[in-house]
Structure 1
Amino acid sequence: MPLLQIDATPLGPRLHDAAQPLLSTLRRALVRPGPVIIMTHGFKFEPGHPNACPHTHILSLAPKSGTWKAKSWPRGLGFGAGNRDEGLAIGFGWSARGSIWDAYKQAEQAGFCLADLVSMIRRVAPDRPVHLMAHSMGARVALGALPRLRAGAIGRVLLLNGAEFGTAARAAIESDAGRAAEIISVTTRENDLFDFLMERLISAPEHGDRSLAQALPQRQNTLTVQLDHPDTLPSLERTGFRVAPGRARFYCHWSTYLREGLFDFYRALLREPQHVTLSRLRAQLPDMPDPRWSRVLPWPKPGMATLPFFSRQPQARLSSGGITSSTMNQ
Structure 2
Amino acid sequence: MAILRVNIGPEGAEIHGRGRPAGSALARAARQSSGPIIVMVHGWNFEPGHSRHCPHRHIFGLGDTGVTSWPEGLGFDASAQSTGLCVAIGWHARCGLREAYCRAGEAGRMLASVIASLRLGSGGRPVHAIGHSLGVRVILAALPWLDAGDMGRIVALAGAEWRKTALEALATPAGRQAELINVTWRANAAFDLIFARALRHARPKTTQGLGRVDVGPDTGMGAGIAGGLGWAQNRVDLHLDAPGLQALLAARGMGLTLRRRALCHWAGYANPGAMALHREILRHPEEWPLSLLATRSPSPKMPGLGLLHPA
Q: Same fold by TM (over 0.5)?
A: yes
Matches within 5 A, 1:121-132: 121-132=118-129
**Is the 1:214–1:289 contact (alpha carbons within 8 Å) kept by the matching residues of 2?**
no
Question: Given the alignment, which residue of 228, 233, 246 partners 1:220?
Answer: 233
Pick aligned residue for 2:158 from 145, 148, 161 = 161
| 1:125-274 pair list within 5 angstroms | 125-203=122-200, 204-206=203-205, 209-218=218-227, 219-244=232-257, 246-274=258-286
* 8 Å CA contact 2:12, 2:21 repeated in 1: no
Q: How far is 1:238 from its partner?
A: 2.9
Residue by residue over 1:214-267, the C-alpha shift from the partner in whole angstroms, topping out at 9 and shown as x without a partner, is 1414422111111113433223323443111x2233110011111111222111
Give the 3-state SS of the residue equivalent to 1:155 in structure 2: strand
2:287 equivalent in structure 1: 275
Separation (CA, whole Å) in 1 of partners of 2:57 and 2:42: 12
Displacement of 1:96 in angstroms is: 0.7
Counterpart for residue 103 of structure 1: 100
Alignment of 1:70-81 (within 5 A): 70-80=67-77
The answer as to whether partners of 1:56 and 1:62 remain within 8 angstroms in 2 is no
What do the CA deviations read for 1:294-323 (whole angstroms, capped 9, x no partner)? 79xxxxxxxxxxxxxxxxxxxxxxxxxxxx
Q: Distance in 1 between matches of 2:264 and 2:55?
A: 19
SS in 2 for 1:290: coil
Give 2:209's aligned residue: none
Q: Which runs of 5+ in 2 are unaligned?
A: 207-216, 307-311
Range with bigger deviation, 205-214 or 180-189: 205-214
C-alpha distance in 2 between matches for 1:19 and 1:140: 25
Of structures 1 and 2, the larger Rg is shown by 1
Instruction: Give the corresponding residue for 2:14.
Output: 14
Q: Secondary structure at the match of 1:257?
A: helix
* 1:51 alignment partner in structure 2: 52
Deviation for aligned residue 1:84: 4.2
Which residue of 1 is the match for residue 301 of structure 2?
290
Inter-CA distance 101–21: structure 2 relative to 1 (3 Å threshold): closer
The 1:96–1:34 alpha-carbon spacing in structure 2 relative to 1, beyond 3 Å, is same
Q: Distance in 1 between matches of 2:128 and 2:264?
A: 26
Taking structure 2 as the reference length, the TM-score comes to 0.87
1:43-83 Cα deviation digits (max 9, x unpaired): 1001111110001011122364x4xxx21100010111736
Question: d(CA) in 1 for partners of 2:78 and 2:118?
Answer: 23
Distance 1:275 1:56 in 2: 32
In structure 2, what residue type is equivalent to 1:44? Answer: N
Contact 2:155 2:181 in 1 (8 A): yes
In structure 2, what residue type is equivalent to 1:193? A
| SS of match in other structure, 2:259 | coil
The match for 2:35 is 34
The amino acid of 2:46's aligned partner reads: F
Q: Which has the higher contact order (CA 8 A, sep 6+)?
A: 2
**Residues 1:289 and 1:146: Cα distance change in structure 2 (over 3 Å):** farther
SS of match in other structure, 1:177: helix
* Inter-CA distance 83–272: structure 2 relative to 1 (3 Å threshold): farther
SS of corresponding position for 2:79: coil
Tell me how far 1:121 sits from its aligned partner.
1.1
CA 1:3/1:81 → structure 2, altered by over 3 Å: closer, same or farther?
Answer: closer
Instruction: Give percent identity, aligned residues only.
Output: 39
CA shift, 1:205, in A, is: 1.3
Q: Does 1:113 pair with 2:122? A: no
Offset at residue 20 of structure 1 (A)? 4.1
Distance apart, 1:291 and its partner CA? 3.7
Q: CA RMSD in A?
A: 2.0
Render the CA deviation track for 1:156-189: whole Å, top value 9, x for unaligned.
0001111111011110111111110100011101
CA separation of 1:27 and 1:215: change in aligned 2, threshold 3 A? closer
- Unaligned stretches of 5+ residues in structure 1: 296-330
Give the counterpart letter for 2:29 in structure 1.
Answer: A
Q: CA deviation at 1:17?
A: 1.1
